[in-house]
A and B are shown apart, each in its own frame.
Chain A
């Protein structure tokens, strides 16, 4: 079984709808991240959480919110989806080792907002 899972894998929705993307991990890591990937732009950090009570905005958090329900679960919500949020979304986890932490990525969720 995969260590980092994301649901759904694909989602098509309409402008204005609320959407939740879910991430679960079995690696036992404290740190979790949400990124979006757009062609030609690489990965950009949306939110990150260093433990259940510590949630931080990344570089592109506007229009998104997150919830860390447990050490193993980190959800990303789009309160009112808009077409420019069409992208590939990745969840990642890491374990703090004093720097140079390796991040482990889920398979991604492809979101299309019409």
Chain B
């Protein structure tokens, strides 16, 4: 069974500082990995995803994440935080559950606060 652990339910950074949101996963097979963002009073939207190929994945709004198989990690980073980045971020993993039975398992989320 797959699972996702997001370290830190709440991360606070200053505007212009590095953003680092941590995600570790467990999966019995090579996973597909996702980061979603949820702005207040909205649904989730995809930031970026890793399927195959290059392990450094670039997403929207200047975010990127690196798949590290040896560390079973998929941490999300952004070099310089902006006030508009304040949101909740969810890491998710998808792997083959049988046939074409791909399902997402989400982490519990990390709330990012950006201070002026």
**Cβ A101 vs Cβ B102 within 8 A:** yes
**Cβ B90 vs Cβ A100 within 8 A:** no
Q: Is A43 an interface residue (CB 8 A)?
A: yes
Q: Which residue of B lies closest to A45 (CB)?
A: B103
Q: Is A12 an interface residue (CB 8 A)?
A: no
A98 vs B66: C-alpha distance in the bound complex, in angstroms?
22
> Of B43, B50, B102, which one neighbours A90 at CB under 8 angstroms?
B43
> Of B32, B42, B44, B106, which one neighbours A99 at CB under 8 angstroms?
B32
Some 10 contacts from A to B, beta carbons below 8 A apart, are A41-B108, A44-B106, A58-B103, A90-B44, A92-B44, A96-B102, A99-B102, A100-B52, A103-B46, A105-B36
In the complex, chain A residues whose CB is within 8 Å of the CB of B9: 40
A92 vs B50: C-alpha distance in the bound complex, in angstroms?
19
A90 vs B43: C-alpha distance in the bound complex, in angstroms?
7
Q: Give the size of the chain B interface in residues (CB under 8 angstroms).
A: 25
| Supplied contacts A58-B103, A100-B32, 11 more A-B pairs, CB within 8 Å | A41-B108, A42-B107, A42-B109, A43-B90, A44-B106, A48-B103, A99-B51, A100-B52, A102-B34, A103-B104, A108-B43
Q: Which residue of B lies closest to A107 (CB)?
A: B43
Write the residues of chain B forming the contact surface with A, with a CB cutoff of 8 angstroms: 9, 32, 34, 36, 41-46, 49-52, 90, 94, 96, 100, 102-104, 106-109
A45 vs B102: C-alpha distance in the bound complex, in angstroms?
12
Q: Which of A4, A92, A100 has the most CB of B within 10 A?
A: A100
A104 vs B50: C-alpha distance in the bound complex, in angstroms?
16
Mask, A66-77, CB within 8 Å of B = 1, is 000000000000
A100 vs B32: C-alpha distance in the bound complex, in angstroms?
5
B36: shortest Cβ distance to chain A, in Å? 8
**Cβ A101 vs Cβ B94 within 8 A:** yes
Q: Which of A56-114 contact B (CB under 8 A)?
A: 58, 90, 92, 96, 99-108
